[in-house]
Homo-oligomer: A and B are copies of this chain.
Amino acid sequence: MTLSTPTPLAIGIDFGATSIKSALVRGGEILRHGRLIDPQNATAAETMAAIEGVIRELCSDLPSLVPVGIGLPGLVDSTNGIVHGLSNVIGWEEVPVRQLLQDNLGVPVILENDANAMAYGEWRHGAARDARHVICITLGTGVGGALILDGKLFRGAQLAAGEIGHASIDYQGKPGPYGSTGGLEEYVGNGQITERAMDAYRHAGVIPPATPCTPEHLAYAAQAGCPVAKELWEAIGTEIGAAIASAVWLLNPDAIVIGGGIARAGELVFDPIRRSVSNRTAPVIHESLRIVPATLGNDAGAIGCAALALEAIG
């Protein structure tokens, strides 16, 4: 007689700068969400207490507390479980989050950078389930990224790997942070797309709309047949594809997963991305390469964190 082990439970916490989401997760499925926590206008200690409360609430009808994974936006030492600092949330300098929570809860806790957590979620339970080597790209205000190599998160020497948004598509191009030049983010970040759309409409002699033309508006315009919008999506996809092509020459992955706001433009942007990559790389490299949209949406972070927590305890 064989007894099947029940799929273990874990809690995933997606620490966003304006809202902390949490969920009880089993096998990549969210069983229930915790209440939202706002980390602004609160001290780190207050927010930590609120997180602890949510964890206890999510486990209130379970026989015991379950492992916890937390993805945070900022400089996170996943090895030692310490937050060095968060982007856009003050007061989180050198907080030993793992130790504090483990001491109070008595369950394993892991920390991870939020881009890595999302990538891990998409790899374990989302768009890149069967792949061994994956580049994940998140297109939003900034362009973030993370790598799964040889079936593991690849973090690099200072845990800073995956920053495809700062990899350059033009070494004499637009300046970006840290002296980066021609980084992809300087062309296809949300703000840059809005700026380019306004310019393109002005240039085409179309009166620009009174409100800024966001990527969402631009997708709507292209779907409605506007040639200015279509042309701009073609350019955006070509640029994203150029950055991917260079990464693909270097890493020869099985899959590229693209998430974030712009990915919702669908084939408008995926079609030129795929063409750009195929046009710029050898057949051996692109023929079996899948370039696919992320599938877990806003839940990728929480699902990835839960999976990382379970992986850590073996």
Spell out A's residues near B (CB within 8 Å). 75, 132-133, 145, 147, 149-150, 152, 154-164, 166-172, 177-183, 238-239, 242-243, 245-247, 249-254, 278-285, 288-289
Q: How many copies does the complex hold?
A: 2
Q: Are B168 and A242 in contact (CB under 8 A)?
A: yes
- Which one of B152, B157, B249 lies within 8 Å of A133 (CB-CB)? B157
Q: Which residue of B lies closest to A279 (CB)?
A: B179
Complex-state Cα separation, A162 to B149, whole angstroms: 13
Q: A166-B281, A183-B249 are in contact. List 16 more A-B contacts (CB 8 A).
A: A75-B284, A133-B156, A147-B250, A150-B154, A156-B251, A157-B288, A161-B250, A163-B249, A168-B245, A168-B246, A170-B182, A171-B242, A179-B279, A180-B249, A250-B250, A250-B251
Residues of B within 8 A of A183 (CB): 249
Q: Are A132 and B154 in contact (CB under 8 A)?
A: no
Tell me, rounded to whole Å, the shortest Cβ–Cβ distance linking A183 to chain B. Answer: 8
Residues of B within 8 A of A167 (CB): 246-247, 249-250
- Which one of B75, B150, B182, B250 lies within 8 Å of A163 (CB-CB)? B250
Q: Are A252 and B160 in contact (CB under 8 A)?
A: yes
- Which one of B132, B179, B278 lies within 8 Å of A281 (CB-CB)? B179
- Which one of B154, B177, B280, B289 lies within 8 Å of A149 (CB-CB)? B154
Q: Are B280 and A158 in contact (CB under 8 A)?
A: no
Q: Are B252 and A157 in contact (CB under 8 A)?
A: yes
- Which one of B179, B182, B250 lies within 8 Å of A164 (CB-CB)? B250
Tell me, rounded to whole Å, the shortest Cβ–Cβ distance linking A219 to chain B. Answer: 23
Q: Which residue of B lies closest to A157 (CB)?
A: B254
Q: Which residue of B lies closest to A165 (CB)?
A: B249
Q: Are A156 and B239 in contact (CB under 8 A)?
A: no
- Which one of B149, B157, B250, B279 lies within 8 Å of A247 (CB-CB)? B250
Q: Are B251 and A284 in contact (CB under 8 A)?
A: no
If A149-B149, A171-B242, A249-B167 touch, whether A160 touches B280 (CB-CB below 8 Å) is no
- Which one of B162, B169, B247, B285 lies within 8 Å of A158 (CB-CB)? B285
